[in-house]
Amino acid sequence: MIVAFSTSSAVASVAVQLPGGEIVERSQEAPRTASAACLAMLDELLAGADTREVEEWIADIGPGSFIGVRVGVMLAKTFAFAGGRLVRGLSAFDLIDADRTVAFPSRRGEWFVRVPGEPAYRTTEVPVSAVGFGLGGEDRFPSAARAIELRSRASLVNPEELRPDHLMEPAISQPKTPYRRVDR
């Protein structure tokens, strides 16, 4: 079996390739609850099978929600490490559409954009031909099932080598009210 997680957007998904080759997937809106949602969907999809039977784990490495991306990567790394397996990581862009220009919003009023064959970038202008989500048309979210279909595009690595691709620095700000200093 092969298991994939996608948690870079508000829609989390989990896919399992069963021993016969069939790929089954569950997805649900899970803003800020991706870890619990993914574990519940995984439990449902495995239908009593043991995670030790999983031969390969795959994660959506982003970009996307900072914590969301980290959740999917952490799940794949943890299960792989516990089972002595290797992992793969695939871009959220590929999990939307590997062959077209893809765009989706960042939380800073910008867009993440990737044109096939070119590096991803951030912009305030969305290409007209882009597919993705938040564009005002039909939303296409990253799919864990596509991760299984495209897995040969990513190398197998040790779990500790799998890293998120955030495409931007974390948004950390100073507290509005400074912390009080306590002298002891």
Q: What is the pLDDT of residue 168?
A: 80
Return the bridge partners of 3, or none. Answer: 16, 57
Give the contacts of 57 (CB within 8 A, at least 6 positions apart). Answer: 2, 3, 4, 5, 76, 77, 79, 80, 85, 86, 87, 88
- Superfamily of domain 2-96+141-161, CATH level 4: ATPase, nucleotide binding domain (3.30.420.40)
Domain boundaries, the chain: 2-96+141-161
Closest to 58 measured CA to CA, from 140, 157, 132, 133: 157
Report the C-alpha gap between 151 and 179 in whole angstroms.
47
What pTM does this model have? 0.89
What's 159-178 look like in SS3? HHHCCCCCCCCCCCCCCCCC
Per-residue pLDDT band at 169 (split at 50, 70, 90):
confident
Q: Give tens-digit pLDDT for 9-66.
A: 999 999 999 999 999 999 999 988 999 999 999 999 999 899 999 999 999 999 998 8
Q: Give tens-digit pLDDT for 85-137.
A: 999 999 999 999 999 999 999 977 899 999 999 999 999 999 999 999 999 88
